[in-house]
Chains A and B, each alone.
Chain A
Amino acid sequence: MQRILAGYVTAMCLLLMAPIVIVVILAFSGAGYLQFPPTALSLRWFARFLGDDQWRAALWYSLVIGAIACTIATTIGFFAAYALVRRPIAAKKLLLSLLLLPVIVPTVITAIAMYFLSARLGLVGNVLWIGCCHAVVALPVVLLILLATLQGVDVNLERAALSLGSSRLRLFLRVVVPLAAPGIISAALFAFLASFDELIISLFLTGIRAQTLPVRIWNSLHMQIEPTIAAVSAVLIGITGLVLLLDASLRRWRAARTGAGT
Chain B
Amino acid sequence: MLMLPAFAMLAFVFVLPLAWFFTQALFAEGGIQQIASVIASRAVLQAILATNWISLLVTACVLLAGYPIAYYLANRRGLRFTLVVFCIIVPYFTSIIVRTYSWMVLLGRAGVINRLLQSAGLIEAPLPLLYNKLGIVIGMTYVLLPYMVLTLFATMKSIDRNLLLAASGLGAGGFAVFWRVYLPLSRHGILSGALIVFILSIGFFITPALMGGPSDVMVAMLIERSVEITLDWKSAAVMSLFLLAVTLVLYAVYYRITDLRRLMGA
Max chain B C-beta neighbours (<10 A), residue from A93, A105, A197:
A105
Among the listed B95, B174, B255, which residue makes an inter-chain contact with A214, where contact means beta carbons less than 8 Å apart? B95
A contact residues around B98 at 8 Å (CB): 20, 23, 197, 217, 233, 236-237
Q: How large is the interface on B (under 10, 10 to 19, 20 to 34, 35 or more residues)?
A: 35 or more
Does B233 interact with chain A (Cβ within 8 Å)?
A: yes
B224 touches A79 (CB 8 A): no
- A184 in the interface, Cβ–Cβ < 8 Å? no
Within 8 Å of chain B (Cβ to Cβ): is A1? Answer: yes
Count the A residues whose beta carbon is within 8 Å of the partner chain — how many?
86
- Please pick, from A18, A97, A240, the residue contacting B93 in the complex, using a CB distance under 8 A: A240
Segment among B38-46, B83-91, B185-193 that sits at the interface with chain A: B83-91
Q: Which of B1, B90, B266 interacts with A20 by CB under 8 Å?
A: B90
Asked whether B120 is an interface residue with its Cβ less than 8 Å from the other chain, the reply is no
* Chain A residues positioned under 8 Å from B22 (CB to CB): 113
Q: Please, which residues of chain A bring their CB within 8 A of the CB of B96?
A: 197, 199
Complex Cα gap A53–B211 (Å): 29
Taking chain B's interface residues, is the majority helix, strand, or loop, or is none over half, making it mixed?
helix
Of A5-13, A44-52, A155-163, A253-261, the one with at least 4 CB within 8 A of chain B:
A5-13
Interface residues of B in 1-31 (CB under 8 A from A): 1-3, 5-7, 9-10, 13-14, 16-18, 20-22, 24-25
Interface presence of A173 (CB below 8 A): no
Given A217-B101, A225-B108: A5 touches B71 (CB 8 Å cut-off): yes
Any chain B CB within 8 A of the CB of A171? no
Chain B residues, CB < 8 A from A33:
110
CB atoms of B266 and A148 under 8 A apart: yes
Assess the B103–A19 pair: CB atoms within 8 A: yes
User: How far apart sit A222 and B104, CA to CA, in the bound complex (Å)?
Assistant: 12
Residues 134-167 of chain B: 1 if any A CB is under 8 Å from the residue's CB, otherwise 0?
Answer: 0000000010010000000000000000000000
| CB-defined contacts of B72 to chain A, threshold 8 Å | 5-6, 9
Q: How far is the CA of A216 from the CA of B247 in the complex (A)?
A: 29
Contact with B along A195-216 (1 / 0, CB 8 A): 0110110000000000000100
Q: Is A164 an interface residue (CB 8 A)?
A: no
Residue B65 at the chain A interface, CB threshold 8 Å: yes
In angstroms, how far is the closest chain A Cβ from the Cβ of B106?
6
Alpha-carbon gap, A84 to B10, bound state (A) = 16
Q: Which residue of B lies closest to A214 (CB)?
A: B97
Taking CB as reference atom, which chain B residue is nearest A149?
B266
Residues on the A chain within 8 Å of B91, using CB: 16-17, 19-20
Report the minimum CB–CB distance from A127 to chain B (whole Å).
Answer: 15
Is A36's CB under 8 angstroms from B244's CB?
no
Choose one: A17, A100, A193; the contact of B260 (CB below 8 Å). A100
A116 CB contacts on chain B under 8 angstroms: 17, 20-21, 24-25, 233
Q: 8 nearest interchain CB pairs?
A: A106-B203, A19-B102, A197-B95, A80-B6, A113-B21, A13-B87, A83-B2, A113-B17
